[in-house]
A and B are shown apart, each in its own frame.
Chain A
Amino acid sequence: MCVECGCGLPGAPGEVRIHAGGKGHDHDHDHDHGHRHEHEHGHGAATAGETARTLTLQRSLLEKNERLAERNRGFFEAKRLLVLNVLSSPGSGKTTLIQKTAEAMRDRLRLGVIVGDLATENDADRLRSAGIPVVQITTGSVCHLEAEMVSRAMARLDLDALDVLIIENVGNLVCPASYDLGEHLRVVLMSVTEGEDKPLKYPTIFHTAQVALVTKTDLAQATGFDRETALANLHRVSHHAQVMELSSRTGAGMAEWCELLATERQKRFAPRAS
């Protein structure tokens, strides 16, 4: 089997020894297996006399984050916490949605928040003044949250006093897509002011979400929002996601969203028999 891609071509598994200066290993792909190969050797090759060896690794570049995310997930399970990773571009209404959700669910579930921003404590201040337990992570120049940051932040929350932890990621539709934080649900927001083609422009993040929310629906008419096109685009990219439309300001659609959270929590952590 080809050690590079597992495509079934003959070749020794594990370490392949090649001589520097030579052409290295080379195999022709006369069959189509869906990805483009670039077999290039030589630019940085060893000088004559040295023997270069190829070490096959096949390791994820994010393995450290993936390991820490799994650790977080195990910790959340033990704490019986439903955890959401909320993603969107800046200004799609993440903070307002979280605040209204916490307020609407106050009698049913206790919500806590970890909020990530490049700078300022503004979002945390807003949530705190609404009486919601919150920890702010300021990432400096980092464009996304990582599992380790969440792990450090949650140590500053009383998790035993919470049922749901909402992680408000940095407003960015690109980088946060690659970083698992250990969450149960990835929720992506798209506001009606952003244009109907957002899911097509940022397919990775929309594709990885389990829930897609169209927000600020109260502004739909003013912005000439083409609902049908937007929903078609969302269903095309986030085809396995639950899609909902809501307005945090008017409360339209909020009951359905809150119900989803309650159901998801119940599904994972049914009340213990006392």
Chain B
Amino acid sequence: MHEVGIMQNAILMAEQQARDSGASRVHTLRLRVGDMSGVVPDALEFAFETVAKGTLVEGACLVIERVAPACWCAACGEEFVCEDLNYDCPRCGAFSTELRRGTEMQLSSIEVS
């Protein structure tokens, strides 16, 4: 249920950036959301329309790019995508303790005019 607040942040940030660059409308809002971020993309989409009403973002297209969790294997010196919470490196079997990607919650870009 905190997706509404997060969406509000995203829209405030987008409006601010749009105004700063002299734009009067936001056409696309592009977010990056990790599968381990604790945020549900569906809930963000649900909140978007309501929260965008009356802002420069109203009517914009929301694009959510999801990021799969990836761990770092210190033994191999490489990242691997961890599926189903399995932190064992598929190459060498070593147990990873470092989640490098998958917790993102970012406003990656906006399209304005």
Q: Is the CB of A55 within 8 A of B110?
A: yes
Q: Mark A162-176, 1 if CB is under 8 A from B, else 0.
A: 000000000000110
Kindly identify, within residues 1 to 55 of chain B, every residue whose CB is under 8 Å from any CB belonging to chain A: 1-2, 5-6, 9-10, 13, 17-18, 21, 23, 25-28, 30-31, 36-39
Interface of B with A (CB < 8 Å)?
1-2, 5-6, 9-10, 13, 17-18, 21, 23, 25-28, 30-31, 36-39, 59-61, 63-68, 70, 79, 81, 85, 87, 95, 97, 99, 101, 103, 105-113
In this assembly, does A271 line the interface, its C-beta being within 8 Å of a C-beta of chain B?
no
Q: Is the CB of A58 within 8 A of B106?
A: yes
Residues of B within 8 A of A239 (CB): 87, 95, 97
Across the interface, name the chain A residue whose C-beta is closest to B21. Answer: A55
Residues of A within 8 A of B27 (CB): 20, 44-46, 52
A/B interface sample: 26 pairs, CB < 8 A:
A34-B101, A36-B65, A44-B28, A44-B59, A45-B61, A52-B27, A53-B23, A53-B113, A54-B110, A54-B111, A57-B106, A57-B107, A58-B108, A59-B13, A59-B107, A61-B6, A61-B13, A61-B105, A64-B9, A142-B5, A144-B2, A174-B38, A200-B85, A203-B36, A205-B38, A240-B97
Select B101's contact among A18, A35, A44, beta carbons within 8 Å. A35
Q: Is the CB of A52 within 8 A of B101?
A: no
The 5 A-B pairs of least Cβ separation, nearest first, read A44-B61, A43-B61, A175-B2, A44-B27, A44-B60
